[in-house]
Each structure stands twice: as structure tokens, then as C-alpha cells.
Structure 1
Amino acid sequence: MNTFEEAKAKTTHAYNAAADLFDHPANTFWNRFGRSTVARINLLPGERVLDVCSGTGASALPAAIMVGPNGKVIAVDLADKLLAEAKIKAEAKKLTNLEFQVGDMLSLGYPDACFDAAICVFGIFFVPDMALAVKELWRQVRPGGRLAITTWGADLFEPANSLFWQSVRDERPELYKDFNPWDRISNPEGLRAMLSEAGIHDVDIVTEQSIHPLHTPEDWWVLVMGSGYRGTLDQFEPNQLQRVKQANLSQLRAKSITGIEANVIYAIANKPLA
């Protein structure tokens, strides 16, 4: 299995496993930043939108509302269980202009310039060659259209994040990670350099500092179980997992942690008309 296929398989497994808690009230940041991304690209009624790494529709659903019944949003994700949840939400909102597609952003095969906008929220970093993925999205945006890439900023989920990985290392050292995929573009300079490599040089990059509340330490555990960290946690035996959980949550209680950093970076690019 090559690097891309391996990364795709791991991401698919992690997020299908996390689907049961992905939309838990403790994980409101998905919808918050999805809506914020969509608000930044000024979608118009009747426009066609490609939304990749859609999850349960955090950006696809607000995009569908903005483009209206004469518009179209195609929501793509590797995790079919997340898309199933998105479809339920779309039906509840009576949105008929959404199409859901299980797949990866590198092999969609749409023609050049067939979308007014392309959106990727918290997903571009899962592709080993991010610039290649951005080029593919950019190819499908029409001249005058927009591309929105949203990624995590520095110090994601700190201070709980470091305590979590310490608990993982104490139980299973081989599963410890001192680097996450989003670290490659977790500052404006790194994100701008990656977009430049993809051929996008005129881009508006905005950082947003944010604190995500933890009403109880258990909220943190819901977050890690309802996110990509689930891929690591599912490798533990049940008794090991329980020890990691207890060790991690006891540290949060001891330090009275009631909030974690959830900093994001938005990149919006307009495709030249000529």
C-alpha cells in the first residue's frame, strides 16, 4: 500500500469510528468553523459548490442554504458514516440541493472550471501531498470563483492535548505522536508556502484565536473519541483504554482545565478571470 492509500485508509477508519460522537454537543467547533468558512466566501444563489472532507455537513449544509434551491452543493468525504449523518440533517432541513458522495478529493474527476467555489475545512492536511490536492481543487474552480481552505492553528487543544498524548505514551509508547498532520500548515507562513507550491499566490489568510470550553473533563474525552484521535484510541485493548482515559481525565481535574485552544487559519483565494 502506497503512502497515499495508507493515509486514506487510516483517515477513513478513524472518522467512521468517530461518527457516533462527531456531532455530540461537546464538539460544537465543527459546525462553528464550518459556518464561519462558508460566510467568508460570499456564496450567491444558484452557485455550484464542491465541499470536500465534508464530515457531517458543517460547511456543506450552510453552503446549501446560501446557494438556495437553484444552486448545488456536492459534499464529499471518505467516511460514509459521517456522510450518512449529514444526509439525515439535510433531510431534516428539507435541503434538496445537496448531493453526497463517498470518495477522495484527488479522484473526483469533475471537469475543469465546473464549480463556483470549492471548500475544504479541516481536511487538506490528511493528504500526504497537500499541494497536489489543492491543485486538483483549484482546477475545478471557474475563473472568478473561490477556494476556501480552513486548517488548525498553533497549539491545537492545548493544554489537554499534551496531557492526552502523555497518557497514551505511558500506556503504549509506540502509539505516541509528537507530530500531527495539521502541524505542517499550522501557521500562516506554512499555509501560504503550501498554497504557493500549488500555484496559488494571491490569497487572503486570516487567523482566529479561539477557546473551546470544557464544561467537564468528560467533554474532552468525548472530543477525542469523536475526532481523528479515535484512530489511535481504537488500537488499545479495553482495559488499556480505560487506564488512558482515567489518567488523562485525572490530570485535567488536577489542573482545573476548563477550556482548550481551538485556533484556526482561514485561506480564501479568488481565481483570476484571465
Structure 2
Amino acid sequence: MIDFDPRSVYEAAAGDFSDARSTLYPYANERVLDGLRIRPNDQIFDAGCGAGDMAVLAAGLVGEGGSVLGVDIAPSMVRLARERARKAGVTHARFLVGDFEYMALEPESFDVVVCSFGIFFAKDVDATLRKLWRLLRPGGRLALTTVGRNFFSPVSGVFMDIAQSRLAALSIPQPWKITEDLADLRITATRAGLHSPCLEHEDYLVRLEDVSDWWRIIQGSGLRAITMLMDTKTLGEVRTTTEAWMREHDIRALTFGINYLFAEKLTRQRENEQ
């Protein structure tokens, strides 16, 4: 199987990603921000910030006394995030191009760390989560989201089956599968030293106004990596066949499963008491 290159995939997917996430499945942002209990003046690190939707919302919660630093590996995503902040009048959010797995940031320099649909791209998930945890000050909060078992089902599975039927040697890179199971995610969190993490799973219905909406989702997600492996003719055949299957089975919504992880770092007093 070929390696999944998040930089090239999301550089290509940036526009579709921003469009699909803001219009078709914006709920993850709301759940994460609510669970983080963000306060005025908080300093926030958004690891894998994408097009900046979460970061800009968080900036509104911390106020001018707080700050948000968003980092993403894809330059096009960072450009979209900066433009989103500019349009929202947000001046206390910065966005940088970089790989959060390897960035040198000062330990205990943030009150909140969030990584939304990004931790599974790390070469070493345990070490990267441990690093993100170290960035938190005592009393700081961390949130992760990962893709659950239902990843735009049932269409994603049908799409991949049809793609492989056209190209038998087509490899299907799916790095998100390493964190799709809540039990495995809890083990990863424990190895990284997170204190009493709270894990939840929710399935959401992504309603499709038109059968073509599924293509916007595919092109704006990690599944775009599969489309990038096909030539134009094959890709057209796969899309047409998939949409015919959707019409035949009257598919009007997709199920998107999301795993949520929340953890709070002990204050030094509470740590000494334990």
C-alpha cells in the first residue's frame, strides 16, 4: 500500500474541504468547543487547523485577551484560514504552515489544545499525542476528534469497492482507521499519559440535497487520496457508477461517525494529592 501524504491530499482538497465541512457537517466544531469550556483570555493551539473554522470560532470565545495559533501542513488550508479570520475581523488568531508532529513549541504554553481529525496522520500517534499533552498548562484542556466506524457510510464503502473493481491493483490508504475504535483510542490516550480521558462516539446523518453532494464530501475528505490515484476516464466511470447505485438504493443521507476525546490536565496541587 502506498503511503498517505496528507500535505498533497489536503492541498488538493482545500476548497472542497472548507465547503463540505461548513455546509454539510459543521456539528463537530460545536461539540468540541462546548466540551473544552473555553474561557476569556485562554491561549489555544489548534493542531491541524484545516481551513480555520474551529480556530475562528474559538477566537470569538477567548476575546482579544486570548489568542489562537493554528497550524496545518497544507499551505492552501492556511491561506483559507487566514482569509476566514480576516473576513470575521479576528486579529488574535495566527495561522502557520507546518507539521504539528515535528514543531518545536514550548511545553505548558497553552490553556487549550485541539486536534480535529488530524492525530491519525501522525507517523507516531502515541508520541504526537504525548507532545500535545505536554503543551498544556496545569488545568488545561485537550480535545481530539477522530473518524469513527461509519465514515460517510454506506457510500464510502461502495465507492471504494467500485474503484478497486476498475483498478484491481489500486491500494486504499486509510490512516484514519488506526483511531476509529474507542477502546484502541483509550489505550493510546493512556500510553500518552492523559489523565482520566472522557471518550464518546456519535453518529450523525449528513443529508444530501442532491446525489452529487456525496462527491463534494469525497473530494473534501481524506478519501480524495483515492481519486488522485485514478485517471480522468476511470474516475468518471467510478463516480457515475457510484451515483447510479445511490439512485437505485434511494440514498439521501450518509452516516458520519465521530469519536470525541476530552481530557483535563491536573493542576499541580491535584497532582500532588494523587
TM-score, normalized by the shorter chain, greater than 0.5? yes
Give the CA RMSD over aligned residues. 1.7
Whether 1:14 and 2:18 are equivalent positions in the alignment is no
Rounded to whole Å, the distance in 2 between the matches of 1:171 and 1:48 is 49
Q: 1:99 to 1:26 in 2, by over 3 A?
A: closer
Rounded to whole Å, the distance in 2 between the matches of 1:266 and 1:29 is 19
Contact 2:150 2:203 in 1 (8 A): no
Q: CA deviation at 1:30?
A: 5.2
Percent identity reads 28
What corresponds to 2:233 in structure 1? 239
Rounded to whole Å, the distance in 1 between the matches of 2:169 and 2:71 is 32
Worse overlay, 219-228 or 168-177: 168-177
Rounded to whole Å, the distance in 2 between the matches of 1:53 and 1:15 is 11
Q: 1:27 to 1:248 in 2, by over 3 A?
A: farther
Contact 2:52 2:70 in 1 (8 A): yes
What does the per-residue CA deviation read over 1:40-90, in whole Å, with 9 as the maximum and x for residues that have no partner? 101111110000111111211111111111110000000110111111111
Whether 1:271 and 2:237 are equivalent positions in the alignment is no
Rounded to whole Å, the distance in 2 between the matches of 1:30 and 1:209 is 11
Whether 1:85 and 2:95 are equivalent positions in the alignment is no
Rounded to whole Å, the distance in 2 between the matches of 1:151 and 1:206 is 11
Rounded to whole Å, the distance in 1 between the matches of 2:85 and 2:260 is 25
The one of 196, 206, 211 aligned to 2:190: 196
Mapping for residues 52-131 of structure 1, pairs under 5 Å:
52-131=47-126
What corresponds to 1:249 in structure 2? 243
Rounded to whole Å, the distance in 2 between the matches of 1:28 and 1:162 is 23
The one of 193, 206, 215 aligned to 2:209: 215
SS across alignment from 1:153: strand
5+ long unaligned stretches in structure 2? 269-274
Contact 1:30 1:58 in 2 (8 A): no
What corresponds to 1:138 in structure 2? 133
Rounded to whole Å, the distance in 2 between the matches of 1:24 and 1:114 is 32
Rounded to whole Å, the distance in 1 between the matches of 2:103 and 2:180 is 27
The one of 159, 162, 168 aligned to 1:167: 162
Contact 2:101 2:122 in 1 (8 A): no
Q: CA deviation at 1:25?
A: 5.1
Contact 1:168 1:176 in 2 (8 A): no
Rounded to whole Å, the distance in 2 between the matches of 1:106 and 1:26 is 23
What corresponds to 2:146 in structure 1? 151
Whether 1:41 and 2:36 are equivalent positions in the alignment is yes
Q: 1:116 to 1:28 in 2, by over 3 A?
A: same
Contact 1:157 1:260 in 2 (8 A): yes
What corresponds to 2:272 in structure 1? none
Rounded to whole Å, the distance in 2 between the matches of 1:133 and 1:193 is 14
Q: CA deviation at 1:235?
A: 2.1
Q: CA deviation at 1:247?
A: 1.1
Contact 1:26 1:222 in 2 (8 A): no
Q: CA deviation at 1:26?
A: 7.4
Contact 1:26 1:219 in 2 (8 A): no
Whether 1:181 and 2:175 are equivalent positions in the alignment is yes
What does the per-residue CA deviation read over 1:215-254, in whole Å, with 9 as the maximum and x for residues that have no partner? 2220001111111222221221111111111111111111
Q: CA deviation at 1:209?
A: 2.0
The one of 218, 222, 230 aligned to 1:228: 222
Contact 1:50 1:74 in 2 (8 A): yes
Rounded to whole Å, the distance in 2 between the matches of 1:191 and 1:231 is 24
Q: TM-score, normalised by structure 2?
A: 0.92
Q: CA deviation at 1:100?
A: 0.4
